[in-house]
Amino acid sequence: MTDKQVKLCPCGSGLNYADCCQPYHLYQTWPATAEQLMRSRFVAFALGLESYLQTTWAKSTRLGSLDLEDNLVWNRLEIIATEQGMPFDDTGKVHFKAHYQLKEGGKVLESGVMEEVSQFIRDENQHWVYLTGDVKS
């Protein structure tokens, strides 16, 4: 992570980062719901925390390496709907929109929204992990 100070959590919960997604990123605790994992992964994308993204990705679908774009700025997460993914479920779905900007030299080249329905499962430790996603266009 960069040493830039993050106060409000970028996932949009309204909580401070230290009280929201940071404990997950530090592996102090694991998200109890699929939505919380989704939020923490969005923030990991926003902050460029590649190892967290790998760790929270199901081994069966994990990519060897992630190409995190420095020019891509993830601004805002909007949760549209969730299906299961609660503490006593084994699977879950989260439908979300992630708002981004493509920047170059401080200039915004493009603003966009990625809409996806992500699927989550439990790993061998019963932790929520990302399995796959359907991107809506």
Contact positions vs Zn ion (CB under 5 A): 9, 11, 13, 20-21, 39
Strand partners, 74: 100
Q: How far is the CB of 61 from Zn ion (least distance, A)?
A: 24
Q: What's the CA gap between 12 and 40, in Å, rounded? A: 11
- Of 6 and 58, which has the nearer Cβ to Zn ion? 6
Nearer to Zn ion, 36 or 119 (CB): 36
Q: How far is the CB of 89 from Zn ion (least distance, A)?
A: 21
Smallest distance, Å, CB 11 to Zn ion?
A: 3
Question: Which residues, at least 6 apart from 38, have a Cβ–Cβ distance to it below 8 Å?
Answer: 79, 94, 96, 118, 120, 130
Check residue 39 and give left, alpha or beta (phi > 0: left; psi -120 to 50: alpha).
alpha
Nearest CB to Zn ion, comparing residues 39 and 95: 39
Considering beta carbons, is residue 44 or 121 the nearer one to Zn ion? 44
**Distance in Å, CB of 124 to Zn ion, minimum:** 25
Q: How many C-beta atoms surround the C-beta of residue 28 within 10 A?
A: 8
